[in-house]
Structure 1
């Protein structure tokens, strides 16, 4: 039987990966997390796992062989707060611990599929998995980049298309703006769609940043990727153990924040039996409100991201991604159903 480890298991992406594995009939899963934030248990409550192990215990025990033969580790555990300024904490969690896990996986014959981040690109305007375009704007992005660089060094210069030899499968996923169910515990780091859903219910409107970085109000553009698509690509690589490398995981299509806001508003209006509005109508009616760009984010904010999917597609992964209009609509419907 296939035994899997998922770190960050009670988190957003980790819990959805377990859901995806469960859908395949895989439930011999060791869930690893830190439940100091106790309400994260809700993300695990409806899932089938074999065991739960606290993160403080797991890594050393795994390196010592405590859990038997592990097929693969989906490593989603990390500090994902891009506003966290404690670099010592960030590097310990996102870099040092990941390096230890990599070596343990190699020793134990386990494959490693891990969470990198589009934050590794930071101030770049090109989002391709090459060192020339990796310019992180914060210590979170740097911690993720340093581990990617370490994997390139450990796995060899041909890491991107390793077929056999130097290491077991190692795949890093540079997640772009992921949204979807099971992110409610993330607070300020939850997606724009999540916050706007609750804003609309509380205030009858949604809020977006005003003009910044040469973009009109609400016009800053990101590559928004639905959680179901993130899970599908993770599982594609799980099915293809000969493919290693660092890959962007986004849709390949940037869309403005205005698209997210309008989809939230119109999906909620639809649920009330009301007609869809244009962006101009929604703004004129006060359903979308633009606020001044925060001083704290100036110089640390990506106004545009769009995943280059050339490397991903070169592996043969042809997954079709949802756009904002369909993904956010599905998410709003899920949020409504869970209220």
Structure 2
């Protein structure tokens, strides 16, 4: 069996879809369906079972619960960068992850988890997987950074397959439930459909309008990376997952407009 936490979410549901395409359906989907609209991400997936996150956490440390599991894709998290309830964020992104990590280590189960490029802060120190570059600026980023730090301490003590991915700006299908946390590409697409305009921030700090840059990576590419490491359990560690090239918001907006063959860009105050 394969477990996917956050399996009804953006990356998790795309990952399960890809596993299904490989012929894999012996999958336990773990999520927290307070937002029932996420069921649209689940409707076309073939899974063996569903378990609510709260019940899953209760059972993690049961001696037999993880028997027969060959891999855990830990995608579940509080992903809102605007959440400042530190206790809530650390409980969901740090404590939960530690318990699941140790459950996997105890049974030598591959543990493949989602970290975040947000650990690099504003990026002024670079984007290398190195402590000198890591300067989180919100609770979400700090929780991801602190779990990465924990993994760094644990890795030398075990031979279990443990891999963390620092996702950059992921976009693609199945992110409609994320609201304000959806990708820039998603928002531009919706704006062009509804208003015939993509709204970009005006320039600041010496940048021209819409020339702010991010590394945008398509969700299928992110899924491919996850599956490659599933197939290569000898590889361990923490890795960046992006294209390696930053694109401007202007470039993304123009691509969306070109796709729809209509629309324009409107610059709004930052």
Give the match for residue 119 of structure 2: 120
SS at match of 2:29: strand
SS at match of 2:60: helix
Give the match for residue 136 of structure 1: 136
Instruction: Please state how far the C-alpha of 1:67 moved relative to its aligned partner.
Output: 4.7
Superimposed CA distance per residue, residues 267-314 of structure 1 (whole angstroms, 9 cap, x where no aligned partner): 101xxxx7xxxxxxx7xxxx1011111xxxxxxxxxxxxxxxxxxxxx
Give the match for residue 47 of structure 2: 49
Aligned length: 268
The correspondence of residues 91-106 of structure 1 with structure 2, limited to 5 A, is 91-106=90-105
SS at match of 2:114: strand
Give the match for residue 71 of structure 2: 72
Matched, 1:146 2:146: yes
SS at match of 2:45: coil
What TM-score, normalized to structure 1?
Answer: 0.77
Return the alpha-carbon distance in structure 1 between the equivalents of residues 71 and 51 of structure 2: 16
- Comparing 222-231 with 55-64, greater Cα deviation is found at 55-64
Give the match for residue 24 of structure 2: 26
Return the alpha-carbon distance in structure 2 between the equivalents of residues 249 and 15 of structure 1: 18
Instruction: Give the gaps of 5 or more residues in structure 2.
Output: none
SS at match of 2:112: strand
CA contact (8 A) 2:108 2:161 kept: no
Return the alpha-carbon distance in structure 1 between the equivalents of residues 238 and 73 of structure 2: 14
Give the match for residue 86 of structure 2: 87
SS at match of 2:203: coil
SS at match of 1:262: helix
Alignment RMSD, CA only? Answer: 1.2
Return the alpha-carbon distance in structure 2 between the equivalents of residues 214 and 148 of structure 1: 34
Return the alpha-carbon distance in structure 1 between the equivalents of residues 217 and 187 of structure 2: 16
Give the match for residue 205 of structure 1: 197
Higher strand share: 2
- Comparing 79-88 with 239-248, greater Cα deviation is found at 79-88
Instruction: Please state how far the C-alpha of 1:107 moved relative to its aligned partner.
Output: 1.4
Instruction: Give the gaps of 5 or more residues in structure 1.
Output: 157-164, 275-281, 294-339
What TM-score, normalized to structure 2?
Answer: 0.97
- Please identify the structure whose Cα radius of gyration is greater: 1
SS at match of 1:178: strand
Return the alpha-carbon distance in structure 2 between the equivalents of residues 70 and 155 of structure 1: 20
Instruction: Please state how far the C-alpha of 1:85 moved relative to its aligned partner.
Output: 1.2
